[in-house]
Amino acid sequence: MHPDRFKDQVMIVTGAAQGIGRGVALAAAAEGAQLVLADRSPLVHEVAQEAAALGAQVVVLEADLETWAGASSLALRTLADYGRIDILVNNVGGTIWAKPYQEYAEAEIEAEIRRSLFPTLWCCRAVLPAMIEAGAGAIVNVSSVATRGIHRIPYSAAKGGVNALTASLAFEHAQDGIRVNAVATGGTEAPPRKVPRNPNPLSAQEQAWYQDIVDQTRATSPMHRYGTIAEQVAAILFLASREASYITATVLPVGGGDQG
């Protein structure tokens, strides 16, 4: 931990209700950030209480960030409460279904892209005017090493889009004092999700396909293990901080050596 690393800085964390987003929110709270926590699950209010107990000022917004309306309301709420946006951590996303590509239905492919690409696209667009006006800002997009992997092709394509967005946005807005980077997370150990991405029970075949992903993830990582939430959070907050002031347009793999 770095006490006061984010003192007097306003940080938006999306997908903050659980997992890596929750970890980012609580670590940033402990390091002095003024927070805006967004999620479409009401569980985000519990995380806000935890962050407030660490001394942080916290604003909470339940919003569907797969839509422009949700993302724009997030930016407007942040500006209304704090008057500025210093840091955006885009953490919404995640595989909904795990299966060979030919098994995906049309609606499932579209849902995966909406879940893992559009929230990042919309939120970057929503905060840009305020960051351009301020002449400063840091955006960290949560990507994945699963841009090369099996049984989740639509998710892989979405995260490839996040990587392209990261690089191009960084090139376009370095002149405005805005840094844009991404962390490509590897397999990460986390508690069972309170709100599952796919609420339907998995069939035996679907469980086998998911196990294929787990096996491939461990096999392609030189460390042959899953990472921890804390290991992902450390990389995200480094790129968000002034310690990374000369780093932009970079996708940092945090996958035990798997480069994605």
- Strand partners for 248: none
- pLDDT at residue number 90: 98
Cβ–Cβ under 8 Å, residues 216 and 149: yes
Could you give the CA distance from residue 260 to residue 242 in angstroms, rounded to a whole number?
26
CATH placement of domain 10-253: 3.40.50.720
**Residue 142: pLDDT above 80?**
yes
Domain ranges in the chain are 10-253
Summary mean pLDDT of the chain: 97
- pLDDT at residue number 195: 78
178 — pLDDT class (breaks 50, 70, 90): very high
Give, rounded to a whole angstrom, the gap between the first and last alpha carbons of the chain: 28
Query: What pTM was computed for the model?
Result: 0.96
User: How buried is 41 (Cβ within 10 angstroms: 0-12 exposed, 13-18 middle, 19+ buried)?
Assistant: middle
Could you give the CA distance from residue 159 to residue 249 in angstroms, rounded to a whole number?
15
**Which active-site residues does the annotation give?**
155
- pLDDT at residue number 200: 87
- pLDDT at residue number 233: 98
User: Which H or E run includes 30?
Assistant: helix 19-30
255 — pLDDT class (breaks 50, 70, 90): very high
Cβ–Cβ under 8 Å, residues 137 and 127: yes
**Residue 83: pLDDT above 90?**
yes
Could you give the CA distance from residue 184 to residue 199 in angstroms, rounded to a whole number?
25
What share of the chain has pLDDT > 70, as a percent?
Answer: 100
**Residue 104: pLDDT above 80?**
yes
User: What are the pLDDT digits (tens) for 85-101?
Assistant: 999 999 999 999 999 99
Answer positive or negative: Cα dihedral of 168, 173, 179, 180.
Answer: negative
User: What are the pLDDT digits (tens) for 211-232?
Assistant: 999 999 999 999 999 999 999 9
**Which one-letter DSSP state was computed for residue 131?**
H
Mark out the alpha helices in 40-152 (DSSP H runs): 44-53, 68-82, 106-116, 118-134
**Residue 1: pLDDT above 80?**
no
Could you give the CA distance from residue 184 to residue 181 in angstroms, rounded to a whole number?
10
Cβ–Cβ under 8 Å, residues 142 and 89: yes
193 — pLDDT class (breaks 50, 70, 90): confident
**Residue 106: pLDDT above 80?**
yes
User: What are the pLDDT digits (tens) for 15-60?
Assistant: 999 999 999 999 999 999 999 999 999 999 999 999 999 999 999 9
**Residue 152: pLDDT above 90?**
yes
Which of 96, 72, 71, 239 shows the shortest CA–CA distance to 166?
Answer: 239
191 — pLDDT class (breaks 50, 70, 90): confident
Cα-Cα-Cα-Cα dihedral of 49, 231, 177, 141, to 10°? -80
